[in-house]
Structure 1
Amino acid sequence: MKFDLDTAWRETTRLASDNAGLLSAIAGIFVFLPYATLLLVLPSIATLPELPKGASFETAMKAIEAFYAETWWAFVAAGIIVTIGLLSMVALLGRRERPTVGEAIGIGLKSIIPAWLTLFLQNMAINIVALLIIAIASATGLAALIFVASVGAIAVAFYLATRLSLATPIIAVDGELNPFRVIAASWALTRGYGSRLLLFYVLLALAGFVVIAVVMLVTGVILALGGPAFEEAGGALVSAAVITGAMLLVSAVMAAVHRQLRRLEQGGASVPRAGGS
């Protein structure tokens, strides 16, 4: 048996539609409100600082460093709140006992520290592998080899990220809170399905990019008719809504992929479904 992209997408849409009301409640609290507030209060966080024409690389780096030195707390706060929301939504969709919204949020709160530790370890491992590939190629001094190695390092990083992409449902659904065990479990669960899973993610990302681009273009034209102040406030709300929709989809995708791979792990045995269907 193999991971089926069509089944994963159908289950994703079913989970999202069957639990739309409950998901919207969590996403509204933990995604839309934080992002909308930040974008309205600190609109500068949405864009990097503008640089003068002909600015040197050193000048650009200093400007970017200064930007993040002033706004890092906003990104950290938003990241923590959104991660709690994502964990809560995945728990709501994936747990057999079908938790209430309050119980799902409780799971998210309890899981936030293990989730961030897992994310840190994952990113560190992926960066080490990618940098090692580039460093080995750089030691040869061959520009062509360095270029090929850089492209290969990016490909390897995406593959490793795919193999480790089920950390969130393993934490929120399976209840595993040990970061090392979470990483090992995600690696084991995705064994043999990495390539198809990566293809599924890439197709979703491309489709999502097109949809978001169209939405932002259309709403941008409409909001521009209302003047600068209306355009800025409306743009913040639209951006927050787009981010919220994306997080809803990500949570449903994670739950659906985790569910299908668990079924495959059990030899196709039926797994109780959230939403009562």
Structure 2
Amino acid sequence: MMRFSYSAIWADTVNMLKSHGSLIGAVAGVFLLLPTLLTGYFLPQPTPSEADPFGPMFEHFANNWPWLLIGNLFNMVGAIAIYLLLLRGREQTVGRAIAAALPILPFYLLMSILTNLAIGLGLGLFILPGIYLLGRLFPASPVLVTQQPRNPLAAIRDSWALTRGRGWAVAGLVAIVFVVGMLVSFVITAILGSVLLLAGGREGIGGMLVLILSSALTAALYAVLTVLVAAIYRALRGGPESTVDLSKGI
């Protein structure tokens, strides 16, 4: 069985971020940062109460789901474009990647709904099944983007085959990067946010600058996770130039 090295995958992630940083940054700025910033400004999330911690969130989603969906669709176009930039060769440009991402979006959306439903059901069953399914289904995104013809069910099947014997390893790596990223974002927001609020006031420019900072950090983490999943996909395939036979048993 192919060796699944966290250090090698992270090194590939860093290398892709360095070599494609300007392209990824351009896509992330429009499709990750801007929707997050606008949603945070016009549709701020309510503060949960101790008596009903989930009620305000459900109400917020029920009242604003069309705009939240549009924001998520922008995020998906950004993720698809990043995968295309990383996995389709150096001839890709930002404009070409965005144009190519749009016809993929409907298939990507359907695949995301199916995988999120499966992971959500798994998380409801004592959490661990959901974490395992997350590890098995995460590579479905780059699989769908690179496959021809587009088929959400085939992408899920191929992701399941690629991660055979590696589900917990994939989930563990994604969880580590996510948790570390969230901690870094929290520390930066706490330190710089406090300075900005003291300088500009919570209701003035300070509050707006904190929102921009928080949105930028969220978009950056989303972009890093997207590149990480691309690196995981490449590792599971055996490297950028090799392929994996997905016709064998799961």
TM-score, normalising length: structure 1? 0.79
Cα distance, 1:206 vs. partner?
A: 2.2
The alignment partner of 2:237 has SS state of helix
Residue number among 211, 215, 222 corresponding to 1:247 in the alignment: 222
Who is 2:208 aligned against? 233
Instruction: Report the Cα distance in structure 2 between the residues aligned to 1:61 and 1:22, rounded to whole angstroms.
Output: 38
Give the Å deviation of 1:68.
2.1
CA drift at 1:15: 0.2
2:92 & 2:218 partners in 1: Cα distance? 24
What code does the residue aligned with 1:247 have? Y
* CA shift for structure 1 position 129: 5.1
Label 1:103 to 1:155 Cα distance change in 2 as closer, same or farther (>3 A). Answer: same
Which residue is equivalent to 1:194?
167
Structure 1 equivalent of residue 44 of structure 2: 46
The one-letter code matched in structure 2 to 1:248 is A
Aligned to 1:122: 115
Matches within 5 A, 1:142-157: 150=126, 154-157=127-130
Larger RCO (CA within 8 A; separation ≥ 6)? 1
Distance 1:176 1:157, change over 3 A: farther
Alignment of 1:170-181 (within 5 A): 170-181=143-154
Larger Rg: 1
Cα distance change of structure 1 residues 34 and 202 upon mapping to structure 2, 3 Å threshold: closer
- Separation in 2 of the partners of 1:115 and 1:181? 12
How much has 1:61 moved relative to structure 2?
5.8
CA distance in structure 1 between the partners assigned to 2:67 and 2:89 by the alignment = 35
Distance 2:209 2:230 in 1: 32
- The 8 Å contact of residues 234 and 240 in structure 2, kept in 1 or not, is answered as no
How far is 1:46 from its partner? 3.3
Which residue identity lines up with residue 48 of structure 1 in the other structure? Answer: P
Residue identity over aligned pairs, in percent, reads 26
SS at match of 1:191: coil
**1:9-48, CA deviations, whole angstroms, 9 ceiling, x for partnerless residues?**
00000001100111111111111122222323x1xx3332
* Change beyond 3 A, Cα 1:181–1:174: same
1:74-223 matches, cutoff 5 A = 74-96=67-89, 98-128=91-121, 134=125, 150=126, 154-223=127-196
Instruction: Specify whether residues 186 and 5 from structure 1 end up closer, same or farther in structure 2 by C-alpha distance, changes over 3 A only.
Output: same
Letter in 1 for 2:81: S
Matching residue of 2:232: 257
Which consecutive residues of structure 2, in runs of 5 or more, have no partner in the other structure?
244-250
Q: For structure 1, which segment, 28-37 or 155-164, has the greater mean C-alpha deviation from structure 2 after superposition?
A: 28-37
Deviation at 1:175, TM superposition (A): 4.3
Deviation at 1:269? 8.3
Q: Report if the CA contact (8 A) 2:35-2:71 is conserved.
A: yes
Aligned Cα RMSD in Å? 2.2
Alignment of 1:71 with 2:69, yes or no, is: no
Tell me, yes or no, if the aligned pair for 2:123 and 2:131 is still in contact at 8 Å: no
Q: 1:161 to 1:216 in 2, by over 3 A?
A: same
Q: Taking structure 1 as reference, are residues 212 and 129 closer, same or farther at Cα in structure 2, changes over 3 Å only? A: closer
* 1:106 maps to amino acid: A
Number of equivalent positions: 240
Partner Cα distance (2:54, 2:160) in 1: 36
Specify the alignment match of 1:8 in structure 2.
9
CA shift for structure 1 position 183? 0.5
The residue identity in structure 2 corresponding to 1:244 is A
CA deviation profile, 1:200-244 (whole Å, cap 9, x unmatched): 112212211221111111121111121121122112211221122
Q: Distance in 2 between matches of 1:112 and 1:23?
A: 18
Alignment map for 1:25-44 (pairs within 5 Å): 25-40=26-41, 42=42
Alpha-carbon deviation of 1:81? 0.4
* Cα distance in 2, alignment partners of residues 243 and 125 from structure 1: 25
Contact 1:49–1:67 at 8 Å: present in 2 too?
A: no
Counterpart contact for 1:90–1:254, Cα < 8 Å: no
**Residue of structure 1 equivalent to 2:246:** none
The structural deviation recorded for 1:124 is 2.6
